[in-house]
Amino acid sequence: MLRDITIGQYYPADSVIHKLDPRVKLFATLIFIISLFSFKNVWGFLVATIFMFGFIELSKVPIGYMVKGLKAIVILMIITALFNLFLTSGKELVSFWIFTITYEGLRNAILMAIRLTYLILGTSVMTLTTTPNELTDGLEKALAPMNKIHVPVHEIAMMMSIALRFIPILVEETDKIMRAQMARGADFENGGIIQRAKNMIPLLVPLFVSAFRRANDLAMAMEARCYRGGAGRTKMKPLKYANIDYRAYAIVILYFVIMMVLRFAL
């Protein structure tokens, strides 16, 4: 399952989405996330589906590669759906023992499962088609106006980029530790959910030690290169909008307008 985590990884390809300015992709992802929690009818669901799968097709990233990233959140999705299913009041559909399933609960459970699925797929399009350096530059450029109110934009963008880059590194490190302990007789595959969770505890100490060691090495490397923050720094590849970026902005804004119309008009 650890190898199925695709968050923070980059998938190289020659596609329209890869060539877009990272600010466009950040804006599109934000709008898509907002729209996911706005639609309440089947028409909004259809528009969001067309929009998302259209961008996935343009990205030239295999849909199977994105879908396997959902395996990491299956448990979270099930728990969220069950909470919505059994703890939402409304018109009763089925009642057994101490549990009651309502129409509103069933509807909310389905919607939440769809939203979480689309949320992972939508954000995966951004991370799989944008390198960590591009994400850092795009986020810093997009938040640049906040420098006027003394918000440390460069430091925030750098921290987010480092955190995103560390995800696949820590996943790989966890996999190595698990294999080493399995070679010594540890069992991570048998037993129920609770037993498997208990078996994962011995992984935490070496994983935290490795994470702190990597963080210390990174800090020393930055100091050795005289890193002093974003003041006065220049970019190797300055971000500049192209015509394709303006067209992408127009498509995203049109999508958001359609979603708002579907929400309030239907």
Candidates 3, 4, 230, 9; CA nearest to 135 is: 9
CA distance 150 to 72: 38
Asked if the model's pLDDT at residue 3 lies above 60, the reply is no
pLDDT in tens, 142-183: 888 887 888 888 788 878 777 777 777 777 788 888 888 878
Contact 41, 49 (CB under 8 A): no
pLDDT interval class at 6 (50, 70, 90): low
- Read off the pTM: 0.75
* Chain mean position to CA 259: 22
Q: Output the pLDDT for position 107.
A: 82
Unique residue bearing structure tokens 């996999």 = 175
Q: What is the mean pLDDT of residues 98-110?
A: 80
Residue 160 burial class via C-beta count within 10 angstroms: exposed 0-12, middle 13-18, buried 19 and up: middle
